[in-house]
């Protein structure tokens, strides 16, 4: 199945793999997705949607086993503070539903911040824009495709 995210990568002529899996509506966790696609959960990157007090909407891509550090993200994004948007705002802002938010191809292009731990992998997985499908691609291609800023934005990481 081709998603908008996949079409963007096609347009850039980037190599990627789509990996589909059966969705469990009761468990949309990155850990569950990782098990289903056969990758470690720190290689699956979940996309979070936040609002900065100065910049407005931003996206953060962090490993599935990590917790976002709001202070690190605020500093990296030029905000004094950032907070998660409410679940009811996610779809109107991005066009994606919870469990299917991709940094690739949201309704509007938002600044993307990718945790620097992505660099330790040859490939990482991000949502393809729908539940039940992950895009496996190199971190460098993701950075180029969404103009991501790579930085330390998870708890326990060093800025």
pLDDT tens sequence across 17-70: 999 999 988 888 888 999 999 999 999 999 999 999 999 999 999 999 999 999
Task: Provide, for the chain, the percentages of residues in helix, strand and coil under a 3-state DSSP scheme, each rounded to the nearest 5.
Answer: 30, 25, 45
* 148 Cβ contact list (under 8 Å, min separation 6): 61, 103, 112, 113, 114, 142
At residue 102, the pLDDT reads 97
At residue 159, the pLDDT reads 45
Q: How far is it, in rounded angstroms, from Cα 159 to Cα 157?
A: 7
∠ Cα 39 117 134 (to 5°): 35
4-151 maps to which CATH number?
A: 3.90.960.10
Query: Which among 128, 146, 147, 153 has a CA at the least distance from the CA of 62?
Result: 153
Boundaries of every domain in the chain: 4-151
Q: Per-residue pLDDT tens for 71-107?
A: 999 999 999 999 999 999 999 999 999 999 999 999 9
∠ Cα 122 136 32 (to 5°): 105
């Amino acid at each position: 199945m081709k998603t908008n995210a996949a079409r963007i990568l096609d347009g850039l002529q980037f190599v990627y793999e789509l990996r589909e899996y059966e969705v469990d509506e009761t468990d949309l966790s990155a850990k569950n997705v990782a098990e289903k696609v056969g990758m470690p959960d720190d290689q699956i990157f979940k996309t979070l949607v936040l609002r900065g007090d100065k910049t407005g909407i931003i996206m953060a891509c962090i490993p599935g086993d990590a917790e976002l550090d709001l202070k690190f993200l605020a500093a990296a994004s030029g905000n004094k503070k950032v907070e998660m948007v409410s679940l009811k705002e996610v779809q109107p802002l991005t066009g994606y539903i919870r469990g299917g938010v991709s940094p690739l191809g949201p309704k509007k292009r938002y600044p993307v911040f990718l945790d620097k731990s992505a660099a330790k992998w040859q490939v990482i997985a991000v949502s393809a824009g729908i539940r039940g499908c992950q895009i496996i691609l190199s971190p460098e291609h993701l950075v180029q495709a969404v103009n991501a800023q790579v930085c330390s934005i998870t708890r326990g990481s060093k800025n």
